[in-house]
Structure 1
Amino acid sequence: MTDTILNYLTNSSAITYIVLALLSIYLIITIWIFLYRYFSIVALIRNEEKSLESLTSREATFSPLSALNKCANSTNSKELLYACEINIIKEASSGISWLAIISSTSPFIGLFGTVVGILESFAKFSTHSKVAFSVIAPAISEALVATAAGIFVAIFAYTFHQILVRKVYELNTYIKAQSQILIAKG
């Protein structure tokens, strides 16, 4: 396996190195955004869930840990609560659009690397009068590694994007429920 990877890298062109480096950076950014946003959103959800439970219990108090409470400053104004909801969701969803961008562009970057690799392979074989499929096939399969890498990155970016969008939706649900209770209590 290691020999195959080293052989691939020694036979690759500068474009292949650039494509694989860019896709590696994309993968690192994807994982970083996911981990950072996931844990911060989960913490927000936990706080808002506890706050909603305390609002609906016999205590009927607003949790001091709630982001909605911090923003609204214990005011039950419909307009202020709505503005706070928007601000909290905007902050919670920041960075998530990068995952969508990465998931949509990484396959094209990989495809670009593949096309360049295939063009270089054909250019190499253009000086030969006869070229068998057994000679062309390995060169094309090496070029397809870039597409595979692009699809690999896109799968993670898209999956992480969907997970975070769902978490933001859960957070939004808790915040809206609290807001509605506070407006109803006046």
Structure 2
Amino acid sequence: MTSIQAFFYESGAVTIFVISWLSIYFVLTLWIFVYKFFSIRASIEREKKSLDRIIKNEQKLPNYPIFDILGTNGNTPKEMLQIWKNQVLKYSTTGLVVLSIVSSTAPFIGLFGTVIEILNAFGRLGLGGQVSFDVIAPIISKALVATAAGILTAIPAYSFFLLLRRKTYDLSVYIQMQIDVILSKNIEHK
């Protein structure tokens, strides 16, 4: 714990700002992933059950508020089913763009902190005249922490983005299967 305190005490304002920014990114990444993972998982389970009930003729339409206005006459316009699909997918993908942004910008933010810290260090060292590797190595090592933090923030953000995108795809498959079943039943009744 003392080394962490010493790191922040010895670091410049830009490095502290970069580490703080990346910390906010990391917390945001975790929050979005946990929230969306459970939300999308619940939606998948709901749509699986709905598909099963539609196939078994236990219900005619998916359990979604947009279908309450149509009644249960069984003649659902294809456009309404598409609107329903778009609404569900829009809701399930909300937040994924943030994970994409974090995964693509975090390494650059960390690199920015590293470059500024190294520039400041060389500026201070240049004023002192003769400088040895023993003096430069710890400064560069400390400066590289920002780059490492950026990479460590980007890796989970990108992984979570891919996992949630796959879950959203699974959800869209169940929705499309319901649409296909409903439309095929509408054709059979005509």
Q: Note whether the superposition's TM-score is higher than 0.5.
A: yes
Residue of structure 2 in register with 1:15 after alignment: 14
Aligned residue among 67, 79, 89 for 1:72: 67
Query: What whole-Å deviation, never above 9, does each CA across 1:92-141 have from its counterpart, x for those lacking one?
Result: 11111110001101111100000011011101111222111111011001
1:50–1:63 Cα contact (<8 Å) kept? no
Any gaps of 5 or more consecutive residues in structure 2? none
CA distance in 2, matches of 1:102, 1:185: 44
Residue of structure 2 in register with 1:38 after alignment: 37
Query: What whole-Å deviation, never above 9, does each CA across 1:65-118 have from its counterpart, x for those lacking one?
Result: x45x43233552111111111111011111111100011011111000000110
Structure 1 length-normalised TM: 0.92
Residue of structure 1 in register with 2:55 after alignment: 56
Instruction: Show the 5 A alignment for 1:132-143.
Output: 132-143=132-143
Q: Say which SS state the counterpart of residue 42 (structure 1) adopts.
A: helix
Opposite residue 7 of structure 2, the aligned amino acid is Y
- Report the alpha carbon displacement of residue 37 of structure 1 after superposing the two structures with TM: 1.0
CA RMSD, 1 decimal: 1.5
Residue of structure 2 in register with 1:169 after alignment: 169
Q: Say which SS state the counterpart of residue 109 (structure 1) adopts.
A: helix
1:15–1:116 Cα contact (<8 Å) kept? yes
- Report the alpha carbon displacement of residue 63 of structure 1 after superposing the two structures with TM: 8.0
Any gaps of 5 or more consecutive residues in structure 1? none
- Report the alpha carbon displacement of residue 6 of structure 1 after superposing the two structures with TM: 1.9
Question: What percentage of residue pairs aligned between the two structures are identical?
Answer: 42
Matched, 1:5 2:8: no
Instruction: Show the 5 A alignment for 1:18-29.
Output: 18-29=17-28
2:60–2:182 Cα contact (<8 Å) kept? no
Divergent runs of 4+, >6 A: none
